Amino acid sequence: MFFVILICRITAGLLSLLGRGSSLPGAVALKLAPNILKKMKLPDLIIAVTGSNGKTSTTELIYELAKKTGKTVICNQEGSNQTEGVATLFIKNAGIFGKVKADIAVIESDERFCQYTFRHFAPHYIVVTNLFRDQMTRNGHNEFVYEELKKGLPSITTLILNADEPLSASLGHKRGNVVYFGIDPLAFQELKPADRVFDDGCHCPVCGAYMAYNYRLHHHLGDYYCKSCDYCRPAPLHSVTALTGRNFVLDGIYDIRPQMINSMFAANISAAFSAGVEALGLTGELISETLDGYIMKNNRIRRFLTNGHRGIFMLSKHENTMSYDGAIENVVNSRSKEKTVVVIFDLLSRKYIANDISWLWDINFELLKNERVKKIILSGCFAYDLATRFEFTGIDSKIISVQPDVRVMASSLGSMASGEIFVMTCFTDVDGFASRLRGDFE
C-alpha cells in the first residue's frame, strides 16, 4: 500500500501542474491495488450525496456545514464523482501508511456508480436528492437508474431521502435507518398543474398500481399515495415550511435567504439542513446562520454586467428537464420589470455522439409566456430546433430572435437586451458565450 499511495500522490502532483488529475490517480491506485480503499483508514464520518439533480450543490452546502464542526473535512469538489475520483480524494489526503488525514468526508457520487464505489466502504449517511429523467443517451430512464442505485446502498448506511419524490423515497420503504426531508405545500405548490407529455409519478414504485396526488410541487414531486397498497409520501423530519418574501423557512423556525428561489434549490437546502442536523449534529440556528445568503462556489450560477444590464448565467444539464425548469423558475420568480431570456443549445454532449433533442419538448418553456419577458434569444447550432419548440409555446413570435452563432450573439447581447438578462445553457456551451461577452462577470 505504501508504494501505491506514493506512486499515486506523485501522479496527482504532476497532473495538478497541468490542471488535471481529479480521477486518474485513483484509477491507477485501483489498478495496482483493487482493495486499497478497504485497507485504508477512512474518516470517522462519511456523508455521500447522489441523485439526478442537485447533488453537486447539495454536496457543497453540506461541505460548508461540515466545516462548522471545527473538524478536518475533505470533499471531492472537483466534481469527479465516480469510483476513481473518490479514490483520488482519499489517497491525496492520506499519509503514506493509508490513514486519511480528515475527520469527515463529504463526497458526491454518481448514482449509477454507487454500487461500485460503496462495495469498498459503506458511508455512514447517503443523501439521495431525487431521481429524474437525466441523460437519456446514457441512463435510458430514471426507473433503470433506480434499480442500479438500489444495488449501491449498504444496509448499515442511514439514508436521507426526498419525501416528495416517490421513486427515491421508496428506497426507504420498510427500512429502519432512514430520514426524510421535503417541502411543505405552503412554500411551493402547483396551483394549476401543468399539462405534461410524461408523468413519472403515475405508477407506484412499490406495487406498480396507479397513484394519486393531493397536490404537486413540480412534475411528480408532491403528496402522493397509492390506490392499491399502503405506499404514500412519508412525513419529512425536516422541511422547507414556507417562503416568506425572499427567505425559505426551515421547520417553521429558521430563516435562510437562498441564492435561487425555485423548488429544486429549496429541496437542496432542505436536504443539506437535514444532513446538518442528523449527520453532523449541528443546531438549526448554526445551520441557518451558515446557509443564509450563501453564494454557491461551483459556478453553476454567475452574475455579470453588460452595457448597463445586469445578468445571471445559469448552467443547466442537457437532457435534463428538471434542470432547465429550475432555471425557468428563476426567471419567473425574478422581480425585474423587464427581462431578456437567452437559451443556448450548441453541443449536446462532450462524451456522447448523439443528436437526440426530444427532451426539449419536455421542458416547460410555456412559463416564459409572461408580460415581463420582453425578449427571447435562441442561440447555438440547434437554435432552429429551439425555435420550432417555441412555436408551440404560445409565446408571441415577435419577441423571439434566432442567432445560431453563440459568439456573435454574446458580443451583441448588451445592445439587444431589455432589462435583466437570464442566460441558460449547459457546461458544454459555456466558453463560447463567456469568451465573447462584452461585459464583466462578478
More confident residue, 383 or 245: 383
Residues 6+ apart with CB under 8 A from 220: 165, 166, 167, 199, 200, 201, 202
- Does residue 382 contact residue 406 with C-beta atoms inside 8 Å? no
User: What percent of the chain is helix, strand and coil (3-state, nearest 5)?
Assistant: 35, 25, 45
174-181 mean pLDDT: 95
Residue 417, φ and ψ in degrees, nearest 5: -75, 160
End-to-end CA gap in the chain? 45
What gap in Å lies between CA 213 and CA 222, rounded to an integer?
7
Rounded distance between C-alpha atoms, residue 47 and residue 127, angstroms: 8
Parallel, antiparallel or unpaired: strands 221-226 and 211-218: antiparallel
pLDDT 10s digits, 277-293: 999 999 999 999 999 99
Instruction: Give the pairing type, strands 158-162 and 178-183.
Output: parallel
Contact 44, 121 (CB under 8 A): no
* pLDDT tens-digit readout, 46-79: 999 999 889 999 999 999 999 999 999 999 987 6
Calculate the alpha carbon distances from 343 to 313, 331, 404 in Å: 10, 12, 11
By mean pLDDT, which of 149-153, 249-253, 309-313 is the weakest?
A: 309-313
What's the pLDDT band for 181 if we cut at 50, 70, 90? very high
| Ordered structural domains, the chain, with CATH | 2-291 (3.40.1190.10), 301-441 (3.90.190.20)
Identify whether the C-beta of residue 320 lies closer than 8 Å to the C-beta of residue 359. Answer: yes
Categorize the per-residue pLDDT at 31 as very low, low, confident or very high, splitting at 50, 70 and 90. Answer: confident
